[in-house]
Structure 1
């Protein structure tokens, strides 16, 4: 069995990767301002904002954004400033946050969460479970997602490599099942063995190759990935980061219909950003934005974080004409630093972006200090 078979890219799988090619790409609602707006009039940026990361083309924007908020709160607690100095190995594992985006009968026991890598998980559920139920999450060093993120010279090479590895793993698991179904057990074992050796050699996985081979026996692709990407040892105390001492509670906006407007929401964002990044649980990246946002098969729903506010103007003196200034929000999409670099460092026009959130109830979520107003730590429920 050759590596070409294992890691070939499958064109039929491309719709599976909703935001697979993001570098240099613009989306409805993410509008970069004109270069004429250059003079900052005011700005609000939280003190503790982690370094940008990439979700590697997978639709895991919810759990990835939840991880950003968890790491921001941990930086605040540990007084790590700038937060970008937190070692990547000590950050919250994207993979573990994916499995925490699941409702289970005993949400406080981290070992009850399924070891699966499933797309489309809720950022709200992942955030609440990590911060208030399990109060811990695996370290990136134990369940490393970043080892699968390509760091090649050009954006085109990186996008191609990312698609190839994930599509190739899906192909390998499908082929393994076909071999067994056709009665060629040796073919299946050879395929699994070659895949395991390639992952260890080329992607730097430190897993036991036997464990990777055993993971091929899982019925679904999601469980197959989870079994070898999230080893059982990642639920051991030494491989977990704790959120148990954080004096935080879950907060959300808006709760009242009178607050479901652009100006009210922008004012709230400016207040919250003094202390914390904000998760936008749902923004519709299509024109015009709609409630179903493309439906199940062609969904354009996205989750990202707001990590800054600024008012920029055309002239240094404070203008009397409002048209001379624009409100901007800095967003973190978990599309990697490359998208930010090619899109004004993530700064977009506030009004079209917020309009694409449709001002849904409790759509903006964050970890607030205990004692502040809002929801008093209630469960987001979804």
Structure 2
């Protein structure tokens, strides 16, 4: 199943470079529609559906790649199953998907080339988890490991609104330098470039106040000769050595890409929570995309200016007296502190599902069962 980029928020409404800092809850009121239920609600016996041996949650920092973090988590879960990794949360980075590299699969490519990794050039913020997962599973079927292209290169040591602003300013400065240097180099070949090494050193020295780049001078220089800032980042954050097959992760068993609802299918709260429970019972996590406006003013995806994506790994019903609610456990990408502050990821199911508007592909996952005809 190869899906089209039909979801209106797939590209336009996930925040891009200009809105970099909006993805982090530090500057959001409440918790971006991930609402924790009152502690007086207690779990209804027999209602719990919980996945075990979960992967480590990635940290997107101030970089708008929640969609790639979600897909990486789904991939890591399947990879641990395939490789019989007993403690998936402790898997070394060479056995975890690179979130930065995964972000390339949000790029749009021609249908006849969607299985060629070289066509997915350029790293950027903003993407659709379902579309990204489709390109990975139905197309290229491999991703660079986290050790080779670590997301930690661009993760700040501190979490604050000021940190977000500084990262935003740094990306803007690097883009400005990229534009200035490419203009100087546009008529100069790499082999005869006397200034290239100076430019590479300047970029490295500029970035080191915020980021820990692992790129070589050759990687940075190649980036300066690329056609866009997105492709420049590709060279810098996913070095040339990471394109080697030895640095790629693949799933051994056949996995099938799934979404709910499909393009011409209608969904509501009851059908969506039923699907979540069904997939969890089958032993797989799901990706969930939703509008993160707080307060939620939008009533449809076209009116939402801030989307987020998480992975769903558990379900339970909780009650306070005769009043009962559905709760889902989510994996988020904002660091360990978020779980401590939000009941270990257990949130009100209806609030977050309503914020999805029950759009096509709001839920996405992979499993070992061929799709029904």
Same fold, judged at TM 0.5 (above) = yes
1:82–1:356 Cα change, 3 Å: same
1:112 maps to which residue? 119
CA distance in 1 between partners of 2:309 and 2:69 (Å): 9
CA distance in 2 between partners of 1:110 and 1:257 (Å): 30
Q: CA deviation at 1:356?
A: 1.1
Number of matched residues? 346
- Which residues of structure 1 form unaligned runs of 5+? 1-12, 377-382
Structure 1 range deviating more: 256-265 or 210-219:
256-265
Q: CA deviation at 1:273?
A: 1.3
Q: Is the counterpart of residue 16 in structure 1 residue 19 in structure 2?
A: yes
CA distance in 1 between partners of 2:49 and 2:27 (Å): 26
Q: What secondary structure sits across from 2:55 in the alignment?
A: coil
CA distance in 2 between partners of 1:126 and 1:257 (Å): 20
Q: Is the counterpart of residue 350 in structure 1 residue 356 in structure 2?
A: no
1:31–1:235 Cα change, 3 Å: same
1:282–1:257 Cα change, 3 Å: same
CA distance in 1 between partners of 2:301 and 2:17 (Å): 22
CA distance in 2 between partners of 1:164 and 1:339 (Å): 25
**Pairing of 1:133-144 with structure 2 (within 5 A):** 133-144=139-150
Q: What secondary structure sits across from 2:317 in the alignment?
A: strand
Q: CA deviation at 1:259?
A: 6.3
**Pairing of 1:1-382 with structure 2 (within 5 A):** 15-17=18-20, 19-23=22-26, 25=28, 26-39=30-43, 41=45, 42-102=47-107, 103-104=109-110, 105-114=112-121, 116-152=122-158, 155=160, 158-159=163-164, 162-176=167-181, 190-197=198-205, 199=207, 203-243=211-251, 245-255=252-262, 260-274=267-281, 275-283=283-291, 285-286=293-294, 287-294=296-303, 299-314=305-320, 321=322, 323=323, 325-371=324-370, 374-375=371-372
CA distance in 1 between partners of 2:76 and 2:240 (Å): 22
Q: CA deviation at 1:31?
A: 1.5
CA distance in 2 between partners of 1:257 and 1:284 (Å): 25
Q: CA deviation at 1:63?
A: 2.2
TM-score relative to the length of structure 2: 0.80
Q: CA RMSD in A?
A: 3.1
The answer to whether the 8 A contact 1:19-1:58 is kept is no
Q: What secondary structure sits across from 1:273 in the alignment?
A: helix
1:135–1:219 Cα change, 3 Å: closer
1:48-87 alpha-carbon deviations (Å, 9 max, x no partner):
4221112222222222211111111111112223321111
Q: CA deviation at 1:247?
A: 2.9
Q: What secondary structure sits across from 1:205 in the alignment?
A: coil
Q: What secondary structure sits across from 1:58 in the alignment?
A: coil
The answer to whether the 8 A contact 1:196-1:213 is kept is no
1:238–1:256 Cα change, 3 Å: closer
Q: CA deviation at 1:225?
A: 0.8
The answer to whether the 8 A contact 1:250-1:375 is kept is no
The answer to whether the 8 A contact 2:65-2:126 is kept is yes
Q: CA deviation at 1:226?
A: 1.0
- Which residues of structure 2 form unaligned runs of 5+? 1-15, 187-192
The answer to whether the 8 A contact 2:219-2:240 is kept is no
CA distance in 1 between partners of 2:19 and 2:209 (Å): 27
Q: CA deviation at 1:156?
A: 5.2
Q: CA deviation at 1:263?
A: 2.0
1:167–1:131 Cα change, 3 Å: same
The answer to whether the 8 A contact 1:48-1:73 is kept is no
Q: CA deviation at 1:364?
A: 1.1
1:33–1:133 Cα change, 3 Å: same
CA distance in 2 between partners of 1:366 and 1:353 (Å): 18
CA distance in 1 between partners of 2:353 and 2:40 (Å): 22
CA distance in 1 between partners of 2:298 and 2:21 (Å): 17
